[in-house]
């Protein structure tokens, strides 16, 4: 439900957020809910404060980057960002945005996804990609990993070989396997200087979580 408190959370871009929030997320996936949008917005604004960029375009791209919900185990997963970009175009056209701004927002959305493997060509696209990936590492990234694993009916870990030393990694079967399969690789692919700096901090936290988890089991 759209509330003034929610709109205010996107300050100083409330006038961009107000018409776009109804489209921001339409899912019961707690790893891609409005809290995720808010975290990505915070990350994006933090990076932009150091790197620059068009904040109007960036705010719109953040708000609409997950406007089409596709489950992690869906065969359409690799197309999720393209589908979201297409929907964003339609939404922004309906609001009367100029064609060049719509194209810039759509490109940032399409290029943000790890699965899409599209090179971000603009500063706003680079910032959105970094801001979204920051939410996949660190403590929040660990929490989201296990949340999604539960949603997909995965086990926490293989009790007989949790580090996959004698078997192939399988992050569909075990959530802990997703750390070496994907999460530990994310910090190497950041696009901006500030994004890379924050990513190094969060990667270290993610590694610490993994090590402490293994110690406890």
Q: What distances in angstroms separate CA 164 from CA 81, 177, 182, 211, one per listed residue?
A: 31, 8, 14, 14
pTM: 0.92
pLDDT at 3: 84
pLDDT at 79 over 80: no
The predicted model gives 188-199 an average pLDDT of 96
Go through the domains of the chain in sequence order and give each one's CATH number: 1-123 (1.10.3210.50), 136-217 (1.20.58.1910)
How do residues 117-156 score in pLDDT, each as one tens digit?
Answer: 788 999 999 999 999 999 999 999 999 999 999 999 999 9
Burial class (CB in 10 A: 0-12, 13-18, 19+), 217: exposed
Per-residue model confidence (pLDDT) at position 85: 93
Span 27-74, pLDDT tens digits = 788 888 999 999 999 999 999 999 999 999 999 999 999 988 776 666
Cβ atoms 67, 91 nearer than 8 A? yes
């Amino acid at each position: 439900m759209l509330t003034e408190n929610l709109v205010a959370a996107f300050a100083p871009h409330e006038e961009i957020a107000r018409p776009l929030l109804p489209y921001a997320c339409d899912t019961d996936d707690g790893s891609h809910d409005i809290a995720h949008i808010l975290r990505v917005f915070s990350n994006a604004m933090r990076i932009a404060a150091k790197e620059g960029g068009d904040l109007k375009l960036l705010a719109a791209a953040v708000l609409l980057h997950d406007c089409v919900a596709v489950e992690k185990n869906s065969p359409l997963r690799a197309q999720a960002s393209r589908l979201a970009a297409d929907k964003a175009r339609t939404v922004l056209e309906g609001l009367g945005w100029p064609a060049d701004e719509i194209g810039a927002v759509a490109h940032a959305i399409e290029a943000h996804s790890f699965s899409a493997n599209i090179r971000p060509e603009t500063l706003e696209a680079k910032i959105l990609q970094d801001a979204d990936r920051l939410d996949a590492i660190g403590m929040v990234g660990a929490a989201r990993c296990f949340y999604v694993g539960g949603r997909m009916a995965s086990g926490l870990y293989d009790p007989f070989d949790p580090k996959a030393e004698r078997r192939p990694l399988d992050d569909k079967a075990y959530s802990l396997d997703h750390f070496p399969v994907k999460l530990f690789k994310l910090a190497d692919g950041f696009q901006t200087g500030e994004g890379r700096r924050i990513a190094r901090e969060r990667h270290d936290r993610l590694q610490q979580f993994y090590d402490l988890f293994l110690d406890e089991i």
